[in-house]
Every structure is written in structure tokens, then in C-alpha cells.
Chain A
Amino acid sequence: KAGVTQTPRYLIKTRGQQVTLSCSPISGHRSVSWYQQTPGQGLQFLFEYFSETQRNKGNFPGRFSGRQFSNSRSEMNVSTLELGDSALYLCASSSTGTGNTIYFGEGSWLTVV
């Protein structure tokens, strides 16, 4: 079956702009979680959605937001981009949540200039 799909794969934005990233989970999975990976901080948890509800949220400012649709597809949005938001953004899907096996997408590489 198809894996986790993230779009776009690569994007360049200017400081102050906003960006929306999309994640389509494995069919039947209701949990989608998002992560930021940078060389300095490593992998950090952003938030998790389950059946359209945000289940938990990491320690990121309110500029980072997300949502999940009824078909389990998820989007995350970053507003008022800063240079430090340049990172690889990964999403992962799971049948029940991150206490179970998770499957990662290939990620979206965001560069803020």
C-alpha cells in the first residue's frame, strides 16, 4: 500500500511569508504527527493529530499550527517565517498514535531566505 506522502518536497520562502505543508498518511491511519529536524536541535516534536483533533503539542511558538481533515490528511502552517525555521519537516502516520509503530514521509525541505 502507498506510504506517507508529503508535499512539497522542497521550497524556498522569504522571511515574513507563510508556508503550508501537506501530509497524506497511509490509508486507514488516523494519527498524523509532525516533526522539525535541524542540524542544531535534531528532531523535535511539533504536534500530533488523531481523528481531526490535536492530541498533543510540542514546545513551539503559536506561529506553528496544524489541522487534520476527515480523510486523515494533515496540513501544517508556519506564519511569519524566520530564518531559523529553515529545516526538514517530517510527518509520520500511525494507526493509533506514537505509542505504536510509526511510518515517516520523505519530508519537506524548507529554506527561509
Chain B
Amino acid sequence: KNEVEQSPQNLTAQEGEFITINCSYSVGISALHWLQQHPGGGIVSLFMLSSGKKKHGRLIATINIQEKHSSLHITASHPRDSAVYICAVYSGGGADGLTFGKGTHLIIQP
């Protein structure tokens, strides 16, 4: 069973700061998802990664398959980025579903 660890659990930063959220997992995977959840429950998929790096607007996600580690970066952070960010991994092979980290609660203060 894959174990997914996220850090930090909580993060408060000032508007404009560069944010990094980390995710480590214990068993090799075929895909990793970064998800965003706002108060009220709805979840938005930000990235799906199997290797390398992806960028969308101010968000950047990287993954190092050998080190079993991924990072989510937010550049020029804004109060609207305040949310819970969740890492989820898929081991593949059709036998398992997603395994989730416990999430990072991010607050961006104006």
C-alpha cells in the first residue's frame, strides 16, 4: 500500500510570496495528481503528472520518479489561492485506486 506524505500541513504566507508544497510517496506510481479544494467541498484537478514538469499560469508541478517526490509551486501568490492542496497517487495495474495525502491548508494574506 502506498503511503503519501505532504508537507507542510499548514502554511500561511503573504500575498506575492513563492509557495512550495511537497509530496512524497513510498511505492512506485504511474501517475500523480495535484488537487485543489476550496471551502464547501468542490475539488478541482490542477495537474496530472507521470514525469517531468507541468506549468499552468502561476502554478508549476514537478515530479522526480527516482526520488518518489513531487512539488507544487505557486508563484506570485494571491488570496484567491487560499485552499487545501491535496496530492494523490495512482500505482497503476488496475488493482488500486487513488491514495491521498492529508492535504496542505494554505492561507494567503493580503
CB contacts between A and B, total, < 8 Å? 61
Residues of B in contact (CB 8 Å), total: 24
A100 touching B48 in the complex, CB below 8 Å, given contacts A43-B100, A45-B97, A45-B99 = yes
Residues of chain B lying within 8 A (CB to CB) of residue A57: 97
Pick from A43, A48, A55, A107 the residue with the most CB of B within 10 Å.
Answer: A43
Q: Chain A 25-62 against B: per-residue CB contact (8 Å), 1 yes, 0 no?
A: 00000000101010000111111100000011110000
Are A99's CB and B42's CB within 8 A? no
Are B41's CB and A103's CB within 8 A? no
- Interface segment, B62-70, B72-80, B84-92? B84-92
Closest to A3 in B: B42
Are B33's CB and A47's CB within 8 A? no
Cross-chain contact of B41 among A42, A45, A88 (Cβ < 8 A):
A88
Cross-chain contact of B31 among A45, A58, A99, A104 (Cβ < 8 A):
A99
Residues of A in contact (CB 8 Å), total: 28
Using CB atoms and an 8 Å cutoff, list the residues of chain B in contact with chain A: 30-31, 33, 35, 41-45, 48, 86, 88, 90, 92, 94-103
- List 19 contacting pairs A-B, 8 Å CB cutoff, sorted by A: A33-B97, A37-B41, A43-B98, A43-B100, A46-B97, A47-B97, A48-B97, A57-B97, A58-B97, A98-B98, A99-B31, A99-B90, A99-B92, A103-B45, A104-B35, A104-B42, A104-B44, A106-B42, A107-B41
